[in-house]
Every structure is written in C-alpha cells, then in structure tokens.
Amino acid sequence: MNQQFWNDFCEVTKIEGIEYKGAFQFGASADWLADLVVEGKKTATTSGFVFYELEKEPLPQAGEYYIVLDGQEKPVAVIQIQSVEVVPMNEVTEEFALAEGEGDYDFWWDAHEKFFTELLKEYDKEFSPSMLVVCERFKKVYSK
C-alpha cells in the first residue's frame, strides 16, 4: 500500500530515482495529527533524541521523504524534511511548537512531556525538561 502511494506521488510530481525513507504515524493521536499534515497546519514535529540512540536509528536528514500514516496505518501524505535540529526540550521555541499545529505552547509542552514520560518508562528512563529532542521541519508535498 505504501509503495503504491509513493508510486502515485512520483507519477504526479514527475520525481524519479528517489525512494522514501520510511512510513510512520505521528504521536499518540495518529488520525488527528495526520489530518493536520494533510490540511497543511502541521509543518514540524519533535521526537526524543534518546530513542534514536537506543534503537540505533539514524536521524532524519533534510531532503528525505517520508510517508505519513493515519491511525489505521493507511498512507495519507508524503512529506519532505526541510531541517533537523537537536536541542534541549526546554529550549524549543514557541514559534517551533506552534508549527506543530496542535495548539499553544503550553499544550505542546504538556503533550510532549506526557508522551515522552510514558515512552521513557519502557526503557527505565525518566523525563527531564532538558532532555535532547529532535526538531524537524517538513513540508507536505503530496496527499490524496
């Protein structure tokens, strides 16, 4: 299903010789967040740097393409990474938090603190306001 979605994107946009890096769901509310991407309201995301280390995964890179999945793991959009920055969570700017499209800065902080706290428990680690986070800016380049 993802490959067909990618093929449709390549056909529509006339992009050749490039593959997408992966397909994923955003956070705890996959349908809502996927809708925000499709609507163009979500143009950024924050993830925990420690999870890339623990899972030995490379950080996303500017220029890469990813497929965004909804809550049923169906592809809904193709995004292209514009920038990637690693900063302490308590240094993420309000402007960046607002680019996530989910609400004001306080909502962003509370949602991410809760999400990271739960995920860190699985690794016997604790949340810290100064934990390193990966701040990605992206643009939606395709949706149906």
Model pLDDT for residues 41-51, shown as the tens digit of each residue: 999 999 999 99
- By the 8 A CB rule, do 134 and 48 touch? yes
Predicted confidence at residue 27, as pLDDT, reads: 80
Predicted confidence at residue 22, as pLDDT, reads: 95
Token pair for residue 7? 């093929």
Tell me the pTM: 0.92
| CA dist list (Å): 50 to 32, 57, 69 | 25, 10, 23
d(CA 67, CA 79): 6
